[in-house]
A and B are shown apart, each in its own frame.
Chain A
Amino acid sequence: MSAPAEPFRTGRALPRFEDVASSALANEQLRRNLGRATSTIRGKCASVVGEMEDWDALREAGSRIKEHTMATLAQQLERLEASVTAAGGQVHWARDAADACQIVTSLAQRHAATEVIKVKSITTDEIRLNSALSAAGITAIETDLAELIIQLADEPSSHILVPAIHKNRTEIRDLFRRTIGDSTLSDEPSALAEAARSHLRQKFLTVPFAVSGANFAVADTGAICVVESEGNGRMCLTLPDVLVTVMGIEKVVPHWSNLGVYFQLLPRSSTGERMNPYTSVWTGVHPGDGPQEFHLVLLDNGRTKVLGDHVGRQTLHCIRCSACLNVCPVYSRTGGHAYGSVYPGPIGAILTPQLLGVEEADSLPYASTLCGACYDVCPVKINIPEVLLHLRGQIVERQRRGMGTHPYGATERAAMRLTAWILQSRWRYELAQRVARIAQWPFVRQGVLARLPGYGARWTRARDLQAVPPRAFRDWWRAR
């Protein structure tokens, strides 16, 4: 068998955000589904976050713990390896996606598995584990309801937490009728859940090999933690004989007590619940209880490169709550597919270019108005607008050094340099004001510019632009 050469990397740059976004925006049904779903979750989260008097202190604590962890990551990971091994687990180190897929696939083959059951895991989506397993003749069965839906539909996820957020229940009913249900299935949520439950229950009871991700791993005890809402994860983590957990290296926390902070921050920020419904924590193996073989795969896949960037590093603090997606005015209109990766929304706009290299995803740092709603809501205080600007700066620097092209061409650079030069001098600036008043003249109709040529048309296709008035403020000031 062979895993795809470089999973997650497509071998070419991601499609431009605005190109995919335009077609998503044209889909009225998609926009309605997304608008309704994001505003519902947003409202729920805001209400339960509002109940917490010490929310800002909790966010600060969540941020500090992650900062400390990142500053001592190597030691934390070595402590984690020692604790997991001492508790009877086996630790594997994966440099990249191919490494990780190879490790999981060999383990499955060693146990002659033809099927594996999976707990929802974005990390395994990142490394494209399912297609690597499939290439080896092994079927991965997603057991989270929304993951199951998109697996049956053969579509990528469009949300970190709610992968099928772009679908409404009628679309899901039709999909289930074609795949796992019968033709009488209704679109009642309980009926849809029941159809999935009957399909999955038999898999839980018969498939002895499970793959999960991890929300947290505790360095000093070796405890691994998965949080979920449906109980499918609990089934996968307890029933099979063999459990393999694939975890990004940034998910480690130093101490057991650190979890108390995140167990408050995460559910309120993600599903809008006060407490997470199913929180599974396990430490190594215990004879006669749960999986008798446990493997932990620690995945780098670009993370140490992110760690090396003093501004970008905070991206690794992310606990995958998806609050930033739900509040983002861009995401809530375009949906997740425009972001071209398993990490959509504001966090994806900063994580994907850093994991892949900015040259591979250079339209993503511009897919934001810098409105700041993501930073406001982030439970670990990732300053997403700051990182977006940092990445925009990297793209410009690469272009300046002749190491790459700018996604919006050479014109912007010329315009920025010229205007910066003009604005350095009061006299050039005042001259430019006069020039603008004259140069606009052919386009002015009744005080507005309604049709600009070239790039300006992108503004005036749907918006008027007020004309430059005959006197600047400074002219008035001097004359008074």
Chain B
Amino acid sequence: MRLSLFVTCINDTMFPRTGQAVVTLLERLGHEVHFPQEQTCCGQAHINTGYRRDALPLLRNFLRVFGGTDRIVVPSASCAGTVRDLYVQMADEIGDAALQRDVAAVAARTFELSELLVHQLGLEDVGAFFPHRVTYHPTCHSLRVLHLGEAPLRLLRAVRGLSLVPLPDAAECCGFGGTFSVKNEATSLAMLADKTAALRTIDADYCVAADNSCLMHIGGATHRAGAPIQMRHLAEILASTEQAGFA
């Protein structure tokens, strides 16, 4: 299948390994991956802080870049959620019928990685090998915007050598919330402290999620504390094989 990769600006700039993992994984599964280089950012930060007017050109850019018929794969639940949820809200608010139609069409083709693998391609075992103790943090937008449910866990359970360690109070927000993390620094840190405390109660080598933004937040605290646990995007685990470790 021909797939278009929307890598997201944060992965492109800060976490290039995640994008590489997506390409490696999907090509290994026999798919043809395209990366339209005109892509930049979905504008989530702008929309979430109230700057919809400024985000509108980014929405239009996204429609232009991903205007074909390919399915669009996004290694981020919150950026996929922006296209599927926030773009639709914006188009409705503007009330432009053509824009609403274009947004609906692109939203219907946009999938977060685990959603694409499990729900679109019907896969669970992607042939990965990762002989480590791994815990999974379901990010808020994976759970409550995209409703990914068990999809990421089903993929992880099928990884050879991987031992999945349950995370207590996993569904609790880590306290990131974009600019919330600095506007409400104290509350954000209280939430983060509870998340890292939960991680300390388990014996896991890696904490895995579908969003690098949340992992960057949690990892910021574990790194500061000198904790040995490593943060990894789900794609990097799934891209790892006996022949080539990825994560």
Contacts and interface: CB of A to CB of B under 8 A. Distances in A.
B184 A366 contact: yes
Interface string B47-68: 1111111110110010000000
B46 to A, nearest CB: 6
A473 B7 contact: yes
A278 interface: no
A370 B183 CA distance: 14
A18 B186 contact: yes
B180 A477 contact: no
B58 A423 contact: yes
B216 interface: yes
A458 B190 contact: no
Contacts of A333: 187, 190-191
Given A372-B144, A396-B50, A417-B54, A476 B16 contact: yes
B205 interface: no
B120 to A, nearest CB: 22
Contact of A21 (B50, B58, B184): B184
B186 A424 contact: no
Most chain B beta-carbon contacts within 10 A, residue among A393, A423, A433, A476: A423
Interface in A370-404: 370-373, 375-376, 386, 389, 391-397, 400
Interface stretch (A84-92, A155-163, A280-288, A464-472): A464-472
A242 B38 CA distance: 72
A448 interface: yes
Nearest to B12: A473
Given A366-B180, A469-B14, A463 B224 contact: yes
A477 B23 CA distance: 9
Interface string B151-163: 0000000000000
Nearest to A446: B223
Interface stretch (B105-113, B128-136, B169-177): B169-177
A20 to B, nearest CB: 10
A474 interface: yes
B71 interface: no
Contacts of B48: 370, 389, 392
A153 interface: no
Given A372-B140, A426-B37, A393 B13 contact: no
Nearest to B58: A423
A419 to B, nearest CB: 7
B123 interface: no
Given A369-B173, A463-B224, A423 B43 contact: yes
A370 B140 contact: yes
Interface in B174-225: 175-192, 216-217, 219-221, 223-224
A478 B190 CA distance: 42
B9 interface: yes
A392 B50 contact: yes
Interface in B64-90: 86, 89
Interface in B3-20: 7, 9, 11-16, 18-20
Contacts of A477: 19, 23, 35, 37
A412 interface: yes
B141 interface: yes
**Interface residue tally on B, bucketed by range:** 35 or more
A262 interface: no
B12 A466 contact: no
The majority secondary structure among interface residues of chain A is: helix
A21 to B, nearest CB: 5
Nearest to B169: A39
Contact of B220 (A369, A370, A463): A463
Contacts of A5: none
A436 B13 contact: yes
B187 to A, nearest CB: 5
A330 B191 CA distance: 8
Contacts of A463: 189, 192, 217, 220-221, 224
Contact of B14 (A18, A334, A466): A466
A21 B13 contact: no
B184 A17 contact: yes
Nearest to A391: B50
B100 interface: no
Nearest to B140: A371
B239 to A, nearest CB: 13
B41 interface: yes
Contacts of A334: 187, 190
B145 interface: yes
Contacts of B178: 369-370
A469 B16 contact: yes
Nearest to A469: B16
Contact of A458 (B182, B216, B220): B182
A408 B178 CA distance: 14
A472 B12 contact: yes
B220 A464 contact: yes
A311 B92 CA distance: 11
Contacts of A372: 140-141, 143-145
A109 interface: no
B13 A468 contact: yes
Contacts of B15: 473
Contacts of B183: 18, 366, 408
Given A386-B89, A462-B224, A420 B140 contact: no
A18 B184 contact: yes
A371 B184 contact: no
Given A419-B46, A464-B223, A465-B216, A369 B140 contact: yes
A22 interface: yes
Contact of A373 (B39, B173, B187): B173
B40 interface: yes
A21 B182 contact: no
B22 to A, nearest CB: 9
8 contacts: A400-B53, A423-B58, A458-B182, A459-B181, A463-B189, A464-B223, A465-B220, A466-B219
Given A423-B40, A424-B58, A477-B35, 11 more contacts: A18-B186, A329-B175, A369-B173, A369-B176, A372-B140, A429-B41, A462-B221, A463-B189, A463-B221, A464-B224, A474-B35
Nearest first, the 9 A-B pairs at minimum CB distance are: A369-B177, A392-B50, A463-B220, A372-B144, A473-B19, A420-B54, A371-B173, A371-B140, A473-B16
